[in-house]
Amino acid sequence: MSRAPIAARARRDRLSDDLAGIATIARLSLFETLRRRLLWALVGLTLLLVVVTAWAFQRLLEASPLPTEETQLAVSQLLVLVAFMFSFVLAMTAVFVGSPAIAGEVESGEALAILARPIRRADVVLGRWLGFGIVVVAYAMLAGLGEIGAVALTTGYLPPHPLLAAGYVALEGLVLLTLAVLLSTRLGVITGGAIAVVLFGINWVMGVVGAAGAILGNDAIRTAGTLSRLIMPTDVAWRGAIASLEPPAALLSSLGRGSAIFAVNPFYTAAAPPADQLAYTGAWIVVGLLLAIALFSRREL
Protein backbone atom coordinates (compact mmCIF):
# COMPACT_ATOMS: atom_id res chain seq x y z
CA MET A 1 0.00 0.00 0.00
CA SER A 2 1.25 3.46 -0.89
CA ARG A 3 2.37 5.62 1.99
CA ALA A 4 0.76 8.75 0.51
CA PRO A 5 -2.88 7.86 1.41
CA ILE A 6 -1.78 6.81 4.89
CA ALA A 7 0.08 10.08 5.44
CA ALA A 8 -2.87 12.09 4.11
CA ARG A 9 -5.26 10.26 6.43
CA ALA A 10 -2.91 10.84 9.36
CA ARG A 11 -2.84 14.57 8.59
CA ARG A 12 -6.63 14.67 8.41
CA ASP A 13 -6.88 12.86 11.74
CA ARG A 14 -4.37 15.26 13.28
CA LEU A 15 -6.29 18.26 11.94
CA SER A 16 -9.56 16.84 13.24
CA ASP A 17 -8.02 16.29 16.68
CA ASP A 18 -6.64 19.85 16.70
CA LEU A 19 -10.00 21.37 15.77
CA ALA A 20 -11.72 19.26 18.42
CA GLY A 21 -9.16 20.41 21.01
CA ILE A 22 -9.57 24.07 20.05
CA ALA A 23 -13.37 23.77 20.20
CA THR A 24 -13.19 22.11 23.63
CA ILE A 25 -10.91 24.78 25.09
CA ALA A 26 -13.02 27.53 23.51
CA ARG A 27 -16.21 26.12 25.01
CA LEU A 28 -14.66 25.80 28.44
CA SER A 29 -13.28 29.35 28.22
CA LEU A 30 -16.68 30.68 27.21
CA PHE A 31 -18.43 28.94 30.09
CA GLU A 32 -15.72 30.11 32.48
CA THR A 33 -16.25 33.72 31.45
CA LEU A 34 -20.04 33.47 31.70
CA ARG A 35 -19.73 32.14 35.25
CA ARG A 36 -17.82 35.20 36.43
CA ARG A 37 -19.93 37.61 38.44
CA LEU A 38 -17.88 40.57 37.27
CA LEU A 39 -19.01 40.00 33.69
CA TRP A 40 -22.68 40.03 34.65
CA ALA A 41 -22.11 43.09 36.81
CA LEU A 42 -20.57 44.77 33.77
CA VAL A 43 -23.59 43.80 31.66
CA GLY A 44 -25.97 45.23 34.27
CA LEU A 45 -24.02 48.47 34.51
CA THR A 46 -23.96 48.72 30.72
CA LEU A 47 -27.74 48.42 30.55
CA LEU A 48 -28.05 51.07 33.22
CA LEU A 49 -25.69 53.31 31.29
CA VAL A 50 -27.73 52.91 28.10
CA VAL A 51 -30.89 53.98 29.93
CA VAL A 52 -29.19 56.94 31.62
CA THR A 53 -27.54 58.23 28.44
CA ALA A 54 -30.78 57.85 26.49
CA TRP A 55 -32.56 59.96 29.11
CA ALA A 56 -29.74 62.54 29.10
CA PHE A 57 -29.78 62.80 25.30
CA GLN A 58 -33.55 63.29 25.30
CA ARG A 59 -33.33 66.07 27.89
CA LEU A 60 -30.51 67.68 25.92
CA LEU A 61 -32.60 67.66 22.75
CA GLU A 62 -35.62 69.18 24.50
CA ALA A 63 -33.55 72.02 25.98
CA SER A 64 -31.37 72.70 22.93
CA PRO A 65 -31.72 76.23 21.48
CA LEU A 66 -29.61 75.31 18.43
CA PRO A 67 -30.89 74.68 14.88
CA THR A 68 -31.56 71.10 13.87
CA GLU A 69 -28.29 70.68 11.96
CA GLU A 70 -26.11 71.89 14.82
CA THR A 71 -28.10 69.82 17.30
CA GLN A 72 -27.43 66.71 15.20
CA LEU A 73 -23.74 67.56 15.15
CA ALA A 74 -23.71 67.96 18.94
CA VAL A 75 -25.53 64.65 19.39
CA SER A 76 -23.08 62.90 17.06
CA GLN A 77 -20.08 64.22 18.99
CA LEU A 78 -21.59 63.18 22.30
CA LEU A 79 -22.34 59.75 20.85
CA VAL A 80 -18.68 59.42 19.82
CA LEU A 81 -17.69 60.38 23.36
CA VAL A 82 -19.98 57.66 24.76
CA ALA A 83 -18.52 55.22 22.22
CA PHE A 84 -15.04 56.04 23.49
CA MET A 85 -16.15 55.20 27.01
CA PHE A 86 -17.59 51.93 25.75
CA SER A 87 -14.37 51.17 23.88
CA PHE A 88 -12.35 51.82 27.03
CA VAL A 89 -14.61 49.51 29.06
CA LEU A 90 -14.33 46.89 26.33
CA ALA A 91 -10.55 47.21 26.33
CA MET A 92 -10.48 46.65 30.08
CA THR A 93 -12.79 43.67 29.66
CA ALA A 94 -10.55 42.17 26.97
CA VAL A 95 -7.51 42.60 29.18
CA PHE A 96 -9.40 41.21 32.18
CA VAL A 97 -10.37 37.99 30.40
CA GLY A 98 -7.17 37.68 28.36
CA SER A 99 -4.49 38.21 31.02
CA PRO A 100 -5.25 34.96 32.91
CA ALA A 101 -5.70 33.01 29.67
CA ILE A 102 -2.34 31.23 29.92
CA ALA A 103 -0.65 32.72 32.99
CA GLY A 104 -3.56 31.81 35.25
CA GLU A 105 -3.52 28.17 34.19
CA VAL A 106 0.25 27.94 34.56
CA GLU A 107 0.25 29.54 38.01
CA SER A 108 -2.59 27.33 39.26
CA GLY A 109 -1.15 24.14 37.75
CA GLU A 110 -4.20 23.53 35.56
CA ALA A 111 -2.04 23.67 32.44
CA LEU A 112 -0.32 20.41 33.41
CA ALA A 113 -3.66 18.64 33.72
CA ILE A 114 -4.95 19.98 30.40
CA LEU A 115 -1.78 19.29 28.43
CA ALA A 116 -1.59 15.74 29.81
CA ARG A 117 -4.46 14.96 27.44
CA PRO A 118 -4.04 14.83 23.64
CA ILE A 119 -4.24 18.62 23.41
CA ARG A 120 -1.38 20.66 22.05
CA ARG A 121 -0.25 23.97 23.47
CA ALA A 122 -1.30 25.67 20.25
CA ASP A 123 -4.82 24.32 20.77
CA VAL A 124 -4.89 25.89 24.25
CA VAL A 125 -3.81 29.32 22.99
CA LEU A 126 -6.23 29.34 20.06
CA GLY A 127 -9.08 27.88 22.10
CA ARG A 128 -8.69 30.40 24.89
CA TRP A 129 -8.51 33.29 22.40
CA LEU A 130 -11.55 32.04 20.49
CA GLY A 131 -13.69 31.54 23.60
CA PHE A 132 -12.82 34.92 25.06
CA GLY A 133 -13.08 36.55 21.63
CA ILE A 134 -16.71 35.45 21.33
CA VAL A 135 -17.46 37.20 24.62
CA VAL A 136 -15.64 40.39 23.56
CA VAL A 137 -17.35 40.59 20.17
CA ALA A 138 -20.79 39.78 21.57
CA TYR A 139 -20.47 42.45 24.26
CA ALA A 140 -19.21 45.04 21.76
CA MET A 141 -22.01 44.41 19.28
CA LEU A 142 -24.85 44.24 21.81
CA ALA A 143 -23.70 47.18 23.93
CA GLY A 144 -22.77 49.34 20.93
CA LEU A 145 -25.94 48.72 18.95
CA GLY A 146 -28.03 49.07 22.12
CA GLU A 147 -26.57 52.49 22.84
CA ILE A 148 -26.93 53.65 19.23
CA GLY A 149 -30.52 52.42 19.11
CA ALA A 150 -31.39 54.18 22.37
CA VAL A 151 -29.94 57.46 21.08
CA ALA A 152 -31.80 57.08 17.77
CA LEU A 153 -35.11 56.54 19.57
CA THR A 154 -34.68 59.54 21.85
CA THR A 155 -33.06 62.06 19.48
CA GLY A 156 -33.85 60.82 15.99
CA TYR A 157 -30.14 60.82 15.07
CA LEU A 158 -28.92 57.58 13.50
CA PRO A 159 -25.24 57.49 12.48
CA PRO A 160 -24.40 56.51 8.91
CA HIS A 161 -22.97 53.06 9.72
CA PRO A 162 -24.07 51.81 13.17
CA LEU A 163 -23.21 48.16 12.50
CA LEU A 164 -19.74 49.09 11.26
CA ALA A 165 -19.20 51.28 14.33
CA ALA A 166 -19.92 48.36 16.68
CA GLY A 167 -17.74 46.11 14.52
CA TYR A 168 -14.79 48.51 14.72
CA VAL A 169 -15.09 48.66 18.51
CA ALA A 170 -15.17 44.84 18.57
CA LEU A 171 -12.02 44.79 16.42
CA GLU A 172 -10.31 47.09 18.92
CA GLY A 173 -11.25 44.65 21.68
CA LEU A 174 -9.82 41.71 19.72
CA VAL A 175 -6.50 43.52 19.31
CA LEU A 176 -6.33 44.09 23.09
CA LEU A 177 -7.36 40.48 23.73
CA THR A 178 -4.59 39.23 21.44
CA LEU A 179 -2.02 41.39 23.21
CA ALA A 180 -3.22 40.20 26.63
CA VAL A 181 -3.02 36.54 25.59
CA LEU A 182 0.42 37.10 24.11
CA LEU A 183 1.73 38.70 27.30
CA SER A 184 0.15 35.97 29.43
CA THR A 185 2.39 33.35 27.83
CA ARG A 186 5.43 34.82 29.58
CA LEU A 187 4.24 37.25 32.27
CA GLY A 188 2.03 36.98 35.32
CA VAL A 189 -1.64 37.92 35.30
CA ILE A 190 -1.29 41.33 36.95
CA THR A 191 1.94 42.28 35.16
CA GLY A 192 0.66 41.36 31.71
CA GLY A 193 -2.66 43.09 32.28
CA ALA A 194 -1.03 46.29 33.52
CA ILE A 195 1.32 46.42 30.52
CA ALA A 196 -1.57 45.89 28.09
CA VAL A 197 -3.62 48.69 29.67
CA VAL A 198 -0.70 51.14 29.65
CA LEU A 199 0.14 50.33 26.02
CA PHE A 200 -3.49 50.89 25.07
CA GLY A 201 -3.45 54.33 26.68
CA ILE A 202 -0.14 55.30 25.10
CA ASN A 203 -1.36 54.15 21.70
CA TRP A 204 -4.53 56.24 21.93
CA VAL A 205 -2.58 59.36 22.91
CA MET A 206 -0.07 58.79 20.10
CA GLY A 207 -2.93 58.42 17.64
CA VAL A 208 -4.24 61.86 18.62
CA VAL A 209 -0.74 63.35 18.53
CA GLY A 210 -0.05 61.78 15.14
CA ALA A 211 -3.26 63.22 13.69
CA ALA A 212 -2.30 66.64 15.01
CA GLY A 213 1.16 66.26 13.49
CA ALA A 214 -0.35 65.45 10.10
CA ILE A 215 -2.55 68.57 10.23
CA LEU A 216 0.26 70.83 11.44
CA GLY A 217 2.80 69.42 8.97
CA ASN A 218 5.17 68.05 11.62
CA ASP A 219 6.76 64.97 10.04
CA ALA A 220 8.36 63.71 13.26
CA ILE A 221 5.08 63.67 15.19
CA ARG A 222 3.20 62.21 12.25
CA THR A 223 5.81 59.44 11.95
CA ALA A 224 5.51 58.70 15.67
CA GLY A 225 1.74 58.31 15.27
CA THR A 226 2.23 55.98 12.31
CA LEU A 227 4.70 53.84 14.26
CA SER A 228 2.27 53.57 17.16
CA ARG A 229 -0.39 52.21 14.80
CA LEU A 230 2.09 49.68 13.46
CA ILE A 231 3.10 48.51 16.93
CA MET A 232 -0.50 48.14 18.14
CA PRO A 233 -3.28 49.04 15.68
CA THR A 234 -6.04 49.84 18.19
CA ASP A 235 -6.12 53.42 16.88
CA VAL A 236 -7.02 52.12 13.41
CA ALA A 237 -10.14 50.45 14.78
CA TRP A 238 -11.02 53.49 16.90
CA ARG A 239 -10.77 55.84 13.90
CA GLY A 240 -13.07 53.52 11.98
CA ALA A 241 -15.62 53.67 14.80
CA ILE A 242 -15.49 57.48 14.80
CA ALA A 243 -15.96 57.66 11.04
CA SER A 244 -18.98 55.35 11.28
CA LEU A 245 -20.64 57.50 13.96
CA GLU A 246 -20.05 60.95 12.48
CA PRO A 247 -22.79 62.76 10.57
CA PRO A 248 -22.56 62.86 6.76
CA ALA A 249 -19.76 64.96 5.26
CA ALA A 250 -22.34 67.26 3.65
CA LEU A 251 -23.59 68.33 7.08
CA LEU A 252 -20.07 69.02 8.32
CA SER A 253 -19.30 71.10 5.22
CA SER A 254 -22.51 73.10 5.54
CA LEU A 255 -21.58 73.96 9.12
CA GLY A 256 -18.03 74.91 8.20
CA ARG A 257 -16.46 72.10 10.21
CA GLY A 258 -13.71 71.24 7.75
CA SER A 259 -11.09 73.44 9.40
CA ALA A 260 -7.78 72.19 10.74
CA ILE A 261 -8.82 73.03 14.30
CA PHE A 262 -11.81 70.71 14.12
CA ALA A 263 -9.70 67.99 12.46
CA VAL A 264 -7.35 67.90 15.47
CA ASN A 265 -10.33 66.99 17.66
CA PRO A 266 -9.56 63.49 19.10
CA PHE A 267 -13.20 62.56 18.54
CA TYR A 268 -13.18 63.43 14.85
CA THR A 269 -11.61 61.82 11.80
CA ALA A 270 -11.64 62.96 8.21
CA ALA A 271 -12.18 59.47 6.76
CA ALA A 272 -12.50 55.81 7.65
CA PRO A 273 -9.26 53.80 7.76
CA PRO A 274 -8.23 52.48 4.33
CA ALA A 275 -8.39 48.80 3.45
CA ASP A 276 -4.63 48.28 3.80
CA GLN A 277 -4.72 49.42 7.45
CA LEU A 278 -7.60 47.08 8.21
CA ALA A 279 -5.74 44.24 6.50
CA TYR A 280 -2.68 45.04 8.59
CA THR A 281 -4.80 44.94 11.75
CA GLY A 282 -6.05 41.47 10.83
CA ALA A 283 -2.50 40.35 10.04
CA TRP A 284 -1.32 41.80 13.37
CA ILE A 285 -3.82 39.64 15.23
CA VAL A 286 -2.71 36.53 13.33
CA VAL A 287 0.99 37.23 13.95
CA GLY A 288 0.26 37.95 17.61
CA LEU A 289 -1.43 34.57 18.00
CA LEU A 290 1.40 32.77 16.20
CA LEU A 291 3.94 34.47 18.46
CA ALA A 292 1.86 33.52 21.52
CA ILE A 293 1.85 29.89 20.37
CA ALA A 294 5.61 29.95 19.81
CA LEU A 295 6.33 31.49 23.23
CA PHE A 296 3.98 29.15 25.09
CA SER A 297 5.42 26.12 23.28
CA ARG A 298 8.87 26.97 24.63
CA ARG A 299 7.77 27.72 28.17
CA GLU A 300 8.60 25.27 30.92
CA LEU A 301 5.66 24.31 33.08
Considering only CA atoms, give the Rg of the chain.
Answer: 22
Q: Which residues contact 248 (CB under 8 A, 6 or more apart)?
A: 160
pLDDT computed for residue 178 by the predictor: 94
pLDDT in tens, 63-90: 666 566 666 777 777 888 888 888 888 8
Burial of 254 (0-12, 13-18, 19+ CB in 10 A): exposed
pTM: 0.83
| String of DSSP letters for 236-268 | HHHHHHHHHHSPPHHHHHHTT--SHHHHT-TT-
CA–CA dist 194, 198 (Å, integer): 6
Q: Please give the tally of structural domains in the chain.
A: 1
Query: Residue 193 is part of which domain span?
Result: 9-297
Band of residue 290 on the pLDDT scale cut at 50, 70, 90: very high
Q: Is residue 62 part of a domain?
A: yes
CA within 13 Å, CB half, 183? 25
Residue 1, in any domain of the structure: no
Q: What is the pLDDT of residue 108?
A: 62
Q: Domain for residue 259, yes or no?
A: yes
Could you read off the pLDDT of 132-147 as tens digits, one per residue?
899 889 888 988 888 8
